[in-house]
A and B are shown apart, each in its own frame.
Chain A
Amino acid sequence: MAVLTRSRRAERLREGVIQGALLACGVVSILTTVGIVAVLIVETLAFFREVPIVDFLTDTQWTPLFAEKHFGILPLLNATLLTSVLAMVVALPLGLGSAVYLNEYAPGRVRSVLKPLLEVLAGIPTVVYGYFALLFVTPILRAIVPETQIFNALSASIVMGIMILPMVSSLSEDAMNAVPVSLREASQALGATRFETSTRVVIPAALSGIAASFILAISRAIGETMIVTIAAGQMPRLSWNPLEAMETMTAYIVQVSLGDTPAGTLAYKTIFAVGMALFVITLLLNFLSQWFVRRFREVYE
């Protein structure tokens, strides 16, 4: 009996150790968040000791690498918002249209080909999209509108829109799939055509999920780095003309990292301040999207 108790105790100990080890694996993900926040806060605070936060938020010039330094994030923020909004102008109708086609119209065989192809689009590395934007889309744009600059926001935005299209499409389709069949049947029984059922019953019922997919897609576009770095250029400029070169927040971070910037210099700290702004914006959008789903979900049955 004593032997049995001892082995029981050893067994219980082993079970406890294993559970602890597994919990530790999960805790790594919390440490990741803590690490991100800590790194960003430490360097950002160091940055704000040298540059007043008011300048950062209101100055309209961003020239930290020049002799006469200005630290206004507005040109970078403006470029980020412009490219993201234009990308959504591409991704929103195309993604929603694809979702409706896959959900309502596509015959089984077409669907089984189309859906994986759209997923392939989501798996292509962004540096490849950057190549495509700069060396395929930009020359076409320049043939149509000759004053387009070699580096321009439009080309980057269009390609970024194509990149996030699969995300909009698959999340929106999930939302439409969740609408009960009985609602469609009721609509069709009342004599509505497929178009009317789709636009007046299914899409409104799935709206919370569709909106959430849009918000997530904007968040993706804001954090996207390589396409805008390669195709939109490194020219911080407060402009709404998408045919010009401009520099997004992410592109600036890359620009500094490519140079030789020793730790501790002001230029080194700027990338963390910009990264902090990026992190806060995307985090807020992700929360907003989750809140949308919870708050506005139509619950049936």
Chain B
Amino acid sequence: MSAGAPQTGFRDEAFERRLSARHRRGDLYRWLCFAAAAVGVITLAALLLDVLHDGLSRLSPQFLSSFPSRRPDEAGIKAALWGSIWMISLTALMAFPLGVGAAVYLEEYASNNWLNRLLEVNIANLAGVPSIVYGLLGLGVFVRFFGLGRSVLSGAATMALLILPVIIIASREAIRAVPRSIREASYALGATRWQTIRHHVLPSAFAGILTGTILALSRAIGETAPLIMIGALTFIAFTPVSVFDPFTALPIQIFNWVSRPQPGFHVNAAAGILVLLAVLLAMNSAAILLRNKFQRKW
């Protein structure tokens, strides 16, 4: 500053004093913003280290293969793990076709009429409904009205509705990314609308749709509140053999152990969290790998 300014033979000392104060304020702001971003990362690290510290020593084949027990060191997550696998598979079977179907309709067929505008607004708002309200829906409709009871099927159906908006939104984005020219080329060769979608649009958008679906399912596998509502039990000494069996799930088992006063169960909860986080990590890695492997640049 002082090197450039004197050429005019004039220095505004007040300005320069203010300028350095302004720069100091700017530096402070920069550091505060950095600190804000750091807090999130530090908390994440603290959370992971805390859970690892509490639960790592408890992880063992016995923990994975035992049913719940009143004695913490004999309890395990076999029922919860299998319950989660059952539930998430059924959820995927229901939510994937419905979500992709709705996305194809909205992107490829829908014209701008009242029904389709209603669909759009509705999906956007469903995405903002708290998960516990879906639990009330599941309780009122699947458990009571359809009489499915507190079964895996009730749980999976509730979860499917919960993640449906997420799958629809992700699939629509993937479908929208397929260029128009692909469709026009297909039509020009005489293909019908469905043939175009079936043979060109869907295969091109498939990686994106699958990635979105896996991310949505990984949300469902960690959801707790809706399952408590529909009455997933916590003390179950068997694995489901049919979709009408009662069940428990990983987050429910973790919640049950956290809520007990004995520290031994808290250790179990931490170990259960490690298993849950490992499952989530595996699902998310799969999603990222798929995206990188099949992503097309048009």
Contacts and interface: CB of A to CB of B under 8 A. Distances in A.
Interface of A: 11, 14-15, 18-19, 21-30, 32-33, 35-36, 39-40, 42-43, 93-98, 100-102, 104-106, 114, 117-118, 120-121, 123-132, 134-136, 162, 165-166, 169, 193-196, 198-199, 216, 219, 222-226, 229-230, 250, 253-254, 257-258, 263, 271-272, 275, 278-279, 282-283, 286-287, 290
A90 to B, nearest CB: 9
Contacts of A27: 119
The 9 A-B pairs of least Cβ separation, nearest first, read A223-B130, A97-B36, A125-B222, A25-B101, A39-B140, A195-B26, A101-B33, A22-B105, A225-B225
Contacts of B194: 14-15, 18-19
Contacts of B144: 263
Main secondary structure on chain A at its contact with chain B? helix
A24 B102 CA distance: 8
A51 B168 CA distance: 40
Nearest to B47: A132
Contacts of A132: 46-47, 50-51
Interface in B29-69: 29-30, 32-37, 39-41, 43-44, 46-47, 50-51, 54
A117 B42 CA distance: 10
Interface string B238-263: 00000000000001001100110000
B130 A222 contact: yes
A114 B44 CA distance: 12
Contact of A223 (B25, B126, B132, B165): B132
A73 B252 CA distance: 27
Contacts of B99: 25
A105 B131 CA distance: 36
Contact of B37 (A102, A263, A282): A102
B181 interface: no
Contact of A135 (B23, B54, B110, B129): B54
Contacts of A127: 222, 224, 251, 254-255, 258, 273
B36 A101 contact: yes
B222 A25 contact: no
Interface string B135-171: 1110111001000000000000000010011001000
Contacts of A130: 255, 258
B132 A97 contact: no
B147 to A, nearest CB: 11
A100 B134 CA distance: 35
B123 A29 contact: yes
Contacts of A278: 130, 132-133
A23 B222 contact: no
B199 interface: no
Contacts of B41: 114, 117-118
19 contacts: A28-B161, A29-B126, A100-B33, A104-B33, A121-B44, A124-B44, A125-B222, A125-B224, A126-B224, A127-B222, A127-B251, A128-B51, A131-B258, A135-B258, A193-B22, A223-B132, A250-B132, A282-B129, A286-B128
B102 A128 contact: no
Nearest to B277: A128
B193 interface: yes
B186 interface: no
A29 B102 contact: yes
Interface in B90-128: 97-102, 104-106, 109-110, 118-119, 122-126, 128
B50 A272 contact: no
Nearest to B32: A97
Query: Residue among A19, A29, A134, A136 with the most chain B CB within 10 A?
Result: A29
A250 to B, nearest CB: 5
Contacts of A93: 36
B192 interface: yes
Contacts of B47: 124, 128-129, 132, 136
A97 B140 contact: no
Given A93-B36, A97-B35, A131-B269, A283 B125 contact: yes
